[in-house]
Structure 1
Amino acid sequence: MEKWALNHPELGLIELEVGYDSEFLALDPAWPEQPEDDEEITPVTAESGLKERFSALFTNPPVRARILLNGKVLHRLRTISSARYLLKDSVEEDKLTAENAGLDRAKPHLKVTSNLFNDVLEVEFRQGSDIVLFDPPAGSRGEKRRDAMESSTLKRVGFPILAGLGKGGWAIAVIILAPLVSRFVKWLLSFLPDFDITLPSLPSLPAFPQIELPTPSLPQIQLPTPNINIDINLPELPAWVELLLDYSKIWVPILIGIVVGLLALRNYKKSEETKRAWQEKQRAKVPVTTRTAAEQERGADEDERDCRAEEPETDGNSPHS
């Protein structure tokens, strides 16, 4: 089972658990209520190849998910998908309140990013303008992605841009693949023989009697129309603007990808700043530690020596001796 966790200074421990039916039944015998039949689970790791991951996608049972707050189960998901999830108890609904269901972004919620293979890549805690990234669990696909992004500035920018291009990738795919598919279809049709289909003629319908009704003659009213001729000479568009307008289906998805990449960079910086603020706040709440027993004993010896040094020296002729 894969567990994503974040310690919030006010809300407490927030967890996202991702696994299979057998793993969740070991934790909660009441869910899933109708688990899938016992099937052999093909183990998939972050180092697995594309072929192994595709095979596991069709052979493994579906991936479930739960969201917990301080150990209490808030949400249970039959499948994992990219969406925003409100930190609100909705176990009875058996689903999460997603963004398209009217989620209030000012309230604390999670934003989960997953891929085609049901791998959780990133989990964000959001509340208004606050954004904090979860630390991915060890050995997960999310950890491999984070390590790759932290190893290179190019990857830190490039991965989110590629994710943004994926959002508009269907447009690029249609533009690139449509001519190829059209040529392929024409090539297949060229092998079909030419044939002419002659449909039988339908019998003529009998003639119906023509009825002519009188039409009233209404007076014609002609209103004067003003002759307004406004000639505005607009400047011609530059050639590069006309080029952008002609190829908007290409550059718009690319622009979306760049914007998504820049927003991901901004969110990463905001997350690091928020985490540092949380750490400083927690350090400020830690009380001053007391001295250890060894330090107390050493301090007592020093105090005793100081007291002896301050006592006046006496000789044998003293009246008090």
Structure 2
Amino acid sequence: MKNDDVEHWSLKHPEFGLLELFIGEPDALRRIDPDFPTSSKKTDADNSTEPEAQEVAEGDVEDEGASTKEDSEKFLKKLAEKLDDLDKKRQLLVRRDGVTIARYKSLENQKIDLGKSDATVKAGKYGGEMTLSAPYLGWTSNFLDSWMIEVKVKDDEGVVVFDPPEGSRAAKRWEAMEESPFKRWFYPLITGLGKGGWALAVIVLGPLVSKLIAWLLSFLPDWDINIP
């Protein structure tokens, strides 16, 4: 199914049939599933026509003669694109052999039970048959749940990973991992750390960073400025 507003992940599994994930804004997903819940944000339709912000390539080098002003303008433009991209309310539609089995308001990590072939979700409602054990269809999103990193199926035979859609951020991530031995182990490491791991790291490292900043500030002179 061709829809430029929607990121489409698909896998034809020998046991569980055609599994599909559609990522996009509610209005776009409703063109695939007419029962997808109505958007609660008035600007969703307007935002859905805006181009997706491009990832900044690692190691990009600015023109040698670029001025500080030009650098600043480029930085602000990229920052604005990133903020605009995060503002888009991408949601998730999951189908099995053309039947909707789950709908979610975000791309937050989930595992959908594939053991129930008749599992469906009510028209106009969010939700899905979640599980913690195989067989399941699961996915991993980035830290901000703004784009999909990986989708996989796990059963008693093992794990099958979806090929990321061409041109998607996940596809670019795989390309970067293939080109760099460092990224090949570093990317999965930070992904596997998860939100809980990052929160723990902040709790543990926060005081240390605070002390480091205080130590650096101790080298600055004390200025006594009197303002009349």
TM-score (norm 1): 0.49
- The 8 Å contact of residues 114 and 121 in structure 1, kept in 2 or not, is answered as yes
CA distance 1:117–1:80, shift in 2 (3 Å): closer
Paired AA for residue 139 in structure 2: V
- The 8 Å contact of residues 124 and 132 in structure 1, kept in 2 or not, is answered as yes
Q: Separation in 1 of the partners of 2:85 and 2:39?
A: 22
Give the gaps of 5 or more residues in structure 2: 1-5, 58-77, 218-228
CA distance 1:34–1:55, shift in 2 (3 Å): closer
1:31 paired with 2:30, answer no
RMSD between aligned residues: 2.6
Question: Secondary structure at 2:205's aligned position in 1?
Answer: helix
1:120-269 map, 5 Å: 120-166=148-194, 167-181=196-210
1:29-178 map, 5 Å: 29-39=34-44, 40-41=46-47, 42-47=50-55, 51=79, 52-58=81-87, 60=88, 62-87=89-114, 88=116, 89-92=119-122, 94-98=126-130, 103=131, 105-107=133-135, 109-115=136-142, 116-166=144-194, 167-178=196-207
- The 8 Å contact of residues 45 and 140 in structure 1, kept in 2 or not, is answered as no
- The 8 Å contact of residues 102 and 129 in structure 2, kept in 1 or not, is answered as no
Q: Separation in 1 of the partners of 2:28 and 2:186?
A: 35
Residue identity over aligned pairs, in percent, reads: 29
Paired position in structure 1 for 2:65: none
Over residues 270-316 of structure 1, what are the superposed CA-to-partner deviations in whole Å (9 max), with x where a residue is unaligned? xxxxxxxxxxxxxxxxxxxxxxxxxxxxxxxxxxxxxxxxxxxxxxx
- The 8 Å contact of residues 46 and 144 in structure 1, kept in 2 or not, is answered as no
Paired position in structure 2 for 1:18: 23
Over residues 62-121 of structure 1, what are the superposed CA-to-partner deviations in whole Å (9 max), with x where a residue is unaligned? 2111111111111111222112222342412631233xxxx25232x1121101151001
| Moved segments of 4+, more than 4 Å | 179-184
Shift in Å at residue 25 of structure 1? 2.2
Over residues 30-84 of structure 1, what are the superposed CA-to-partner deviations in whole Å (9 max), with x where a residue is unaligned? 32245531443142245358622233213x2x21111111111111112221122
Q: Separation in 2 of the partners of 1:48 and 1:57?
A: 15
Worse-matched range after superposition: 129-138 or 48-57: 48-57
Q: Between Structure 1 and Structure 2, how many residues are aligned?
A: 178
Paired AA for residue 53 in structure 1: K
Paired AA for residue 206 in structure 2: L
Q: Separation in 2 of the partners of 1:48 and 1:20?
A: 23
TM-score (norm 2): 0.67
Give the gaps of 5 or more residues in structure 1: 188-321
Aligned mate of 1:3, from 4, 8, 11: 8
Bigger Rg over Cα: 1
CA distance 1:165–1:33, shift in 2 (3 Å): closer
Q: Separation in 2 of the partners of 1:113 and 1:181?
A: 32
